[in-house]
Amino acid sequence: MADVTDEAPYLVQLGALQEDAAKLLYYSLPADGWDTCTLVFREAASYGEFVVTRTNPDSSTELVAPSNALMSAMMKLRDYMATQGKGAWLEAVMAVQRDPAKFTFDYNYNERPQWKKPPTDESYVEDLAKYPRPADQIPDWYPRAI
């Protein structure tokens, strides 16, 4: 007999968190007048950066201010996905398409993010303390505690 718990399996919860974030972005945009919208979220400890870019039918782009709810949803997603042995991702890219409505996510665990304004080394060290990785899983570029 299988154990029955109130908690959904990891992938079900992950899918729900991703869908919640995608819906927050999708429904924050106008009903018409755009084709795709891309959110790039980078975080190291308490230092984070959101860049949201909407692409219009004429291929022009516009920056969009993310809502507080969307930022919270992305931070919750990062925290949920963090695991012992892999740590947390450093950057996530979510792309939302208007018609047909769909979304994708890509995660960067190992490459140095291309920040608009980079965090301090201390932010990376704090992030690693919160989301530890084995020494052989820490990228060479990653700052170390002194």
In a domain, 142, yes or no: no
- Total domains in the chain come to 1
pLDDT in tens, 40-67: 999 999 999 999 999 999 999 999 999 9
Domain that holds residue 130: 10-137
pTM to 2 decimals?
0.89
In a domain, 101, yes or no: yes
Rounded to the nearest 10 degrees, the angle between the axes of helix 68-81 and helix 10-26 is: 160
For 103, phi and psi rounded to 5 degrees? -145, 155
Q: At 103, which CATH number?
A: 3.30.500.20
Distance CA 121, CA 52 (A): 25
Mean pLDDT value of segment 37-41: 99
Question: Which pLDDT does position 7 carry in this prediction?
Answer: 72
Helix (H) or strand (E) holding 16: helix 10-26
Of 72, 142, 140, 83, residue with least CA distance to 107: 83
Does residue 5 register a pLDDT over 70?
Answer: no
Does residue 3 register a pLDDT over 60?
Answer: no
Task: Collapse the DSSP code of 41 into the 3-class scheme (helix H, G, I; strand E, B; otherwise coil) and give the result.
Answer: strand
pLDDT in tens, 87-146: 999 999 999 999 999 999 999 999 999 999 999 999 999 999 999 998 988 999 999 877
